[in-house]
Amino acid sequence: MAYVSTGELMRRARRAGTAIPAFNIPYLPMVEPVVKAIADCNSVGLVVVARLEWEKFESRSLEAVRDEYEKFKRPGHTRLHLDHVPVIDEDDRRVDYLEILARAVKAGYESIMVDGSRLPLAENIACTRAVVDMAHAANVPVEAELGAVMGHEAGPLPPYEELFASGKGFTDPAEARRFVAETGVDWLSVAIGNIHGAISAAAKGQQKVAARLSIEQLDRIHNATDIPLVLHGGTGIRKEYILRAIEHGIAKINVATAIRQPYERHIEKGIASAQAAVYEAMLSVIREDLDAQDSATVLEPEE
Report pLDDT digits (tens) over 16-39: 999 999 999 999 999 999 999 999
Asked if residue 293 belongs to a domain, the reply is: yes
Domain count, the chain: 1
Asked if residue 88 belongs to a domain, the reply is: yes
Please state, in angstroms and rounded to a whole number, the distance separating the CA atoms of residues 189 and 44.
Answer: 19
pLDDT tens-place values along the chain, 303 residues long: 667 899 999 999 999 999 999 999 999 999 999 999 999 999 999 999 999 999 999 999 999 999 999 999 999 999 999 999 999 998 899 999 999 999 999 999 999 999 999 999 999 999 999 999 999 999 999 999 998 776 554 556 666 666 665 667 789 999 999 999 999 999 999 999 887 655 334 345 555 466 779 999 999 999 999 999 999 988 878 899 999 999 999 999 999 999 999 999 999 999 999 999 999 999 999 999 999 999 999 888 654
DSSP one-letter code for 11: H
68-73: long-range pairs with CB below 8 Å, 24+: 68/25, 68/28, 68/31, 68/32, 69/31, 69/35, 71/31, 71/32, 72/31, 72/32, 72/35, 72/36, 73/35, 73/47
Say which CATH number the domain at 141 has: 3.20.20.70
Domain that holds residue 54: 6-298
Asked if residue 282 belongs to a domain, the reply is: yes
Tens digits of residue pLDDT in 245-293: 999 999 999 999 999 999 999 999 999 999 999 999 999 999 999 999 9
| Active-site annotation holds for 83 | yes
Asked if residue 1 belongs to a domain, the reply is: no
Q: Which member of 40, 83, 172, 186 is catalytic? A: 83
Asked if residue 218 belongs to a domain, the reply is: yes
Asked if residue 273 belongs to a domain, the reply is: yes
Asked if residue 250 belongs to a domain, the reply is: yes
Asked if residue 57 belongs to a domain, the reply is: yes
